[in-house]
Amino acid sequence: MINNRRYKIGNAQTIGRREIESNYFSTAYNDAGNLLAVLADGTIDHPNGRRAAIMAVEHCVYALSRYAQQAQANQYMLETALQVNKRIKDEIYTGTTPRLSLAMILLANNTLSYFNVGANRIYLYNGYNERVLGDNPNGSYSKGGCELSAKNVIGILSAGVHTVTHPMERIRLIGAEQEIYDKAQSLIETVRGKGLNNQLNATALLIEVVK
């Protein structure tokens, strides 16, 4: 668990029934104190899927250092995603080029900006309700933003979590009186407890707004 005065961060994951862990994630701050959280999922059970996910996350974290000069958070994240896509096509040239799911959130002051493409989902929890941020119909991307309040929790969940857990399960676990790291662990333990034969890689990345 990582703490600072404004946010608490927790994460957990399982490889599921896959042979290769193709979920990769990170959180990072820039010099302005903005927090980036990113989750990438290489969508084939293949070494190139993991390679693409690692490449995507590392590129997004590197790009965060330039955010202070950007006028719009959503435009910065869209441009970063396009750069990631180009880099994957340019640098992964053997075997099958993987498709990639990429979710990013940027927290600055009391504002959340998000970008999402693919199978991951971004949720906002206020203690009693779950709100999906964005929609990705027919493979398109979504972007937007909202204001945050103290005790809000933002969840970035891979398909291996949100497709096998019910919204009420997630609301109950994230609303529990636990540290944010333990909430993420509880989500993944719930996924494991279902014992699915086709369980995907499952990753939960949670951020709690302290104040």
pLDDT in tens, 38-67: 999 998 778 888 999 999 999 999 998 777
Residue 109: exposure state from Cβ atoms within 10 A (0-12, 13-18, ≥19): exposed
Residue 6 scores a pLDDT above 90? no
Q: Say which range, 85-94, 165-174, 179-188, has the weakest mean pLDDT.
A: 85-94
> pLDDT value at position 90?
87
> pLDDT value at position 3?
43
Calculate mean pLDDT across residues 143-162. Answer: 95
Confidence class of residue 4 from pLDDT cuts 50, 70 and 90? low
Residue 68 scores a pLDDT above 50? yes
Hey, is 185 helix, strand or coil? helix
Rounded to the nearest 5 degrees, what angle is found at the Cα of 24, between the Cα atoms of 51 and 168? 145
> pLDDT value at position 74?
86
Of 2, 13, 38, nearest in space to 184 by CA: 13
Q: In what order do the strands lie in the sheet with 100-108?
A: 23-29, 35-42, 100-108, 111-117, 141-147
Which residues lie across from 23 on neighbouring strands?
41
pTM for this one?
0.92
How many structural domains are present in the chain?
A: 1
Residue 1 scores a pLDDT above 50? no
CA–CA separation, 67 and 106 (whole Å): 10
**CATH number of domain containing 98:** 3.60.40.10
Of 50, 26, 28, 49, nearest in space to 38 by CA: 26
CA–CA separation, 193 and 184 (whole Å): 14
Query: At 170, phi and psi to the nearest 5?
Result: -65, -45
Confidence class of residue 33 from pLDDT cuts 50, 70 and 90? confident
Name the average pLDDT for the chain. Answer: 90
> pLDDT value at position 30?
86
> pLDDT value at position 70?
54
Residue with tokens 């779950």: 130
Q: Say which range, 56-60, 67-71, 173-177, has the weakest mean pLDDT.
A: 67-71
Question: How many other CB atoms are there within 10 angstroms of residue 170's CB atom?
Answer: 22
Of 115, 45, 120, 58, nearest in space to 91 by CA: 58
Residue 25 scores a pLDDT above 60? yes
Residue 91 domain boundaries: 2-209
